[in-house]
Structure 1
Amino acid sequence: MTDLFQSAGLEQSAPRPLADRLRPRTLSEVVGQDHLLSETGPLGRMVAQKRLSSIILWGPPGVGKTTIARLLAEGAGLEFDAISAVFSGVADLKKAFDRARARRASGSGTLLFVDEIHRFNRAQQDGFLPVAEEGIITLVGATTENPSFELNAALLSRCQVMVLKRLDAEAMERLLKRAEGLEEASLPITAEAREGLIAMADGDGRYLLNLAEELFSLKLEKPLGLADLADVLQRRAPVYDKDREEHYNLISALHKSVRGSDPDAALYWLARMLAGGEDPLFLARRIVRMANEDIGLADPTAVHAALAAKEVYDFLGSPEGELALAQAVVHLACAPKSNAVYTAYKAAMRSAKSTGSLMPPKHILNAPTKLMKSEGYGEGYRYDHNEAGGVSGQNYFPEGMERERFYEPTDRGREAAIKERLEHWDKLRR
């Protein structure tokens, strides 16, 4: 199989990045993806049987998608052909399909690897269907985005989706040991800084090896500590796309942490989103929603705290105003929880849509004219402030409509007292 540097027109003696020199030569050398590549894993079984179906490799950057595709081609006895959706168009796809047809005519199969396949539009994605179904190519697409959202249903139905995992600390440590073995030297950092280096790479094996290569190139008299590591290495921002799946994953984690009354987890997810560059006002709007949806009348001050945080942020801006968002998140996470109003509103909306245009009962209608009085408007109305306890117990639902119970307060926070009052008023109505 052609070496990557040879295919790029470079000599073997040319300097090669550490990540390329450590590129796995067999599937067993790929770290962190044993759930797919072991003998019992789906890809391991395919290679053992030399029967490779079209697949989508979904996972974060730097976990081995390109390497796995290349090794799958080798293991299945297929020619490897690669294109990138970032740089390719319809003409490039046609050329790739023509090359695959020519190989098929000579008795060879083709694994067509499409990097960033989600960047192709729907019409381009549809172009893979006939050539894959005819067996002209075995398609292996790679994507960092959720295929459910980014790929055509027709294409997904013809491919198995394999989920690659973010590399954990153990897998990253294995990569560092391999790098030290190849360089025949230890990384010039302390044990604490080594852990910091792994955390800095954020699950991206390729980035970790790039950082390691930079450290190997330094001529240090003594090992770097954790405090000095960030000064020496340029740390990249956490992987976070504000308009992609990561955005929705993290806001879901924040919302559910608040709902689950976990202020520490809620603060962590808030910080993750702010560190990733999320719009603080988007977070402020979501915090207000949490106050109404998950806390409601169990703590009526929650929504005021949420709105106050937005006002403080508007007044101070970043980074000082972000503390107000953090305070609101902690308030909400620690507050008693109730979705009773949220549930009641949805039930009332369903009832309103199903009952049409029923009029209110006449006794609660105003009667500003003689005609309206003669029609019975306002007749029999009892002014609640004049009643014992301030509640008359009259019916306020439309005539002919059975009374419904939408709001069921909990026994948590201030709703406990509300629940007692409603039970008392129910007895008056009965």
Structure 2
Amino acid sequence: MTPRAKQSGPNLFTAAGLDKNAPRPLADRLRPQKLLEVVGQDHLLGHDGTLTRMLETRSLGSLVFWGPPGTGKTTVARLLAQETDLHFEQISAIFTGVADLKKVFEQARARRESGQGTLLFVDEIHRFNRAQQDSFLPVMEDGTIVLVGATTENPSFELNAPLLSRARVLVFRSLDEAAIEKLLARAEEIEGKPLPLDADARASLIRMADGDGRASLTLVEEVWRAARAGEIFDEAGLQNIVQRRAPIYDKGQDGHYNLISALHKSVRGSDPDAALYYLARMFDAGEDPLYIARRVVRMAVEDIGLADPQALVICNAAKDAYDFLGSPEGELAIAQAVIYVATAPKSNAGYTAYGAAMRTAKEHGSLLPPKHILNAPTRLMKDEGYGRGYAYDHDTQEAFSGQNYFPDALPRQTFYDPPERGFEREIRKRLDYWAKLRKERNSS
């Protein structure tokens, strides 16, 4: 038998467009060639933008670009090198070790000696440890490199103070809907065809991009690949094609802290609708509900306190309900607690009183309480005056003696100052009345 001839035709690699002659991804083809083409960062690159002014004065120094993915950090760094005639060198902190850094620095020194400066772009710079970050300081100071670091994490927490003191932090913003729309229009112009989406689906795609320009163009490519001739997708059809892009949320990083901060401040600002929105965002992203429940308990203590003593009870009950019911039923209990604390009267009087008392305790050391409120279990202590003159409050008129309970060496302090809100309005009345009685009885 003669062997069967092998079928000819493109293999899967070629058919998938992965051979060396395959067209580049849309995001790469749309990469701006000039700073003016960068969208969504007008505060940096507009007429009065920070980088525009730097370039006009030729005073480009080391920079840290802080912002979400897909906002143009790498592109802007590359174009800055082009505008300033600097050699562009790019490394990633994920794949670069100490030996690699030394080699990069040596090459930059060699260029400097021949009259060529180097703009060193370091992606994910926050991934470098303290010693690696410190290694940049000498070459930044002597002008061997102009450092441009990019990070998605808060530089204040992730970068060393010495490095931050030698670089200016510039914030890149998530792309708004108008900026994403510009990218879509530019993609349609390059491809020479409209996106096969109706108006609602187009708006949905922009929302799915979540402020990430690169992600928006990836979604666009998926739509064009899936569309048959003459087909127009509605919103449901779009979701079937691209599925659903996961929210940008890292439970250990900035997304986590940003959303819990937004939830807390919405509760503090008595906005239950905004609070529920951020709560839903966190649940949707897979945050641990018990972590959220603990934070809601903290809100009850810190921002409501005795203005509504029931708030702490309800928040603890919500935590117990989640423990008992699990997900998803238990999440409703946490949502109800969030609504309660958001609509409760607010007071941080207890929180600030505790802080003030703690500061006073630390400042004044180990002062002995006044002897009249000390027990005297031994004869020696009685002879020293312990317990002498103590007035048992229940035996006095209105169960209030008005005695001094602060150390003799410490003047009377006022830590707790309840506002005229919620249940603390009643506490305020009691404190004012007791202050009046104390003044009368001490003067007599």
Contact map agreement 1:51 1:76 (CA 8 A) in 2: no
Q: Hey, what does 2:45 align to over in structure 1?
A: 37
**Which residue is equivalent to 1:166?**
174
CA shift, 1:384, in A, is: 3.1
CA distance in 2, matches of 1:155, 1:378: 61
For 1:394 and 1:294, locate their aligned partners in 2 and report how far apart those are by CA, in whole Å: 32
* Mapped partners of 2:186, 2:218: distance in 1: 13
Partner of 1:102: 110
Does residue 310 of structure 1 match 2:319?
Answer: yes
Describe how 1:322-337 pairs up with structure 2 within 5 A: 322-337=331-346
CA shift at 1:412, angstroms? 0.4
Q: How does 1:129-140 map to 2 (within 5 A)?
A: 129-140=137-148
* Deviations 1:320-339 (CA, angstroms, capped at 9, x unpaired): 21211111111111111111
- Cα drift, residue 371 of structure 1: 5.9
Measured in 2, the distance between the counterparts of 1:358 and 1:159 equals 48
Change (3 A) 1:374 1:108: closer
TM alignment of 1:134-149, pairs within 5 A: 134-149=142-157
CA contact (8 A) 1:266 1:329 kept: yes
Secondary structure (helix, strand or coil) at the match of 2:298 reads: helix
Runs of 4+ displaced beyond 6 Å: none
1:160 Cα deviation from its structure 2 partner: 2.1
- Mark the CA change 1:391 to 1:16 in structure 2 (over 3 Å): closer, same or farther: same
Q: Deviations over 1:242-301 (max 9, x none)?
A: 222333332222222111111112122222222233222222222111111111111000
Q: Which segment is superposed worse, 377-386 or 217-226?
A: 377-386
- Cα distance in 2 for residues equivalent to 1:50 and 1:207: 33
Counterpart code for 1:230: Q
* CA distance in structure 2 between the aligned counterparts of 1:130 and 1:340, rounded to whole angstroms: 50
* Residue in 2 that maps onto 1:281: 290
Deviations 1:352-388 (A, max 9, x none): 3344434444444445566655655544444433444
Instruction: Provide closer, same or farther for how the CA distance between residues 115 and 408 of structure 1 changes in structure 2, counting only shifts above 3 A.
Output: same
SS at match of 1:217: helix
Provide the C-alpha distance between the structure 2 equivalents of 1:128 and 1:394, rounded to a whole number of angstroms.
64
Q: Which residue of 1 aligns with 2:353?
A: 344
1:191 maps to which residue? 199
- Provide the residue aligned with 1:424 in structure 2: 433
Of residues 89, 93, 96, the one that matches 2:97 is 89
Partner of 1:6: none
Whether the 8 Å CA contact 2:375–2:386 is kept in 1: the answer is: yes
Q: Partners of 2:409 and 2:88 in 1: how far apart? A: 74
Q: Structure 2 counterpart of 1:141, which letter?
A: G
- 8 Å CA contact 1:201–1:207 kept in 2: the answer is yes
Most deviating of 58-67 and 237-246? 237-246
Structure 1: which 5+ residue stretches go unaligned? 1-9
1:406 maps to 415
What displacement does 1:13 show? 3.6
The amino acid across from 2:246 in the alignment is A
Partner of 2:115, secondary structure, is coil
User: What is the distance in 1 between the residues matched to 2:408 and 2:112?
Assistant: 77
Look up the SS of the partner of 2:240 in the other structure: helix
Match of 2:186 among 178, 189, 210: 178
Can you list the C-alpha shifts for 1:407-426, whole angstroms capped at 9, x where unaligned? 11111011111111121122
**Aligned residues between the structures:** 421
Unmatched tracts of structure 2, length 5 or more: 1-17, 440-444
Matched, 1:65 2:73: yes
Shift of 1:20: 0.8
Identity of aligned residues (%): 66
Q: Give the deviation of 1:54 after TM superposition.
A: 2.0
In the TM superposition, 1:183-262 aligns within 5 A as 183-220=191-228, 222-262=231-271
Task: Find the aligned partners of 2:199 and 2:213 in 1 and give their Cα distance.
Answer: 19
Name which of structure 1's ranges 164-173 and 372-381 shifts more when overlaid on structure 2.
372-381
Mapped to 2, the partners of 1:91 and 1:373 lie a distance apart of 75
Query: Secondary structure of 2:422's partner?
Result: coil
Match of 1:353 in 2: 362
Please say which of residues 351-360 and 263-272 is displaced more in the overlay.
Answer: 351-360
Question: For residue 123 of structure 2, what is the aligned residue in structure 1?
Answer: 115
Report how far residue 230 of structure 1 moved.
2.1
1:164 partner amino acid:
F
Q: Following the alignment from structure 1 to structure 2, what is the Cα–Cα distance between the partners of residues 374 and 128?
A: 70
Correspondences of 1:348-387 after superposition (within 5 Å): 348-367=357-376, 377-387=386-396
Deviates further, 213-222 or 412-421: 213-222
Aligned CA distance change for structure 1 residues 316 and 109 (closer, same or farther; 3 Å): same
Residues 300-335 of structure 1: CA distance to partner in whole angstroms, max 9, x if unpaired? 000001111110111122222121111111111111
Q: Kindly provide the amino acid, as one letter, of the partner of residue 285 in structure 1.
A: R
1:295 to 299, 304, 327: 304
Q: Equivalent residue of 1:321, what SS?
A: helix
Q: Deviations over 1:36-75 (max 9, x none)?
A: 1234323223444555322222111001111111111111
Partner of 1:151: 159
Mapped partners of 1:13, 1:145: distance in 2: 37
The one-letter code of the counterpart of 1:320 is E
User: 2:223·2:238 contact (CA, 8 Å) conserved in 1?
Assistant: no
Distance 1:361 1:141, change over 3 A: closer
18, 21, 41: which one aligns with 2:29: 21
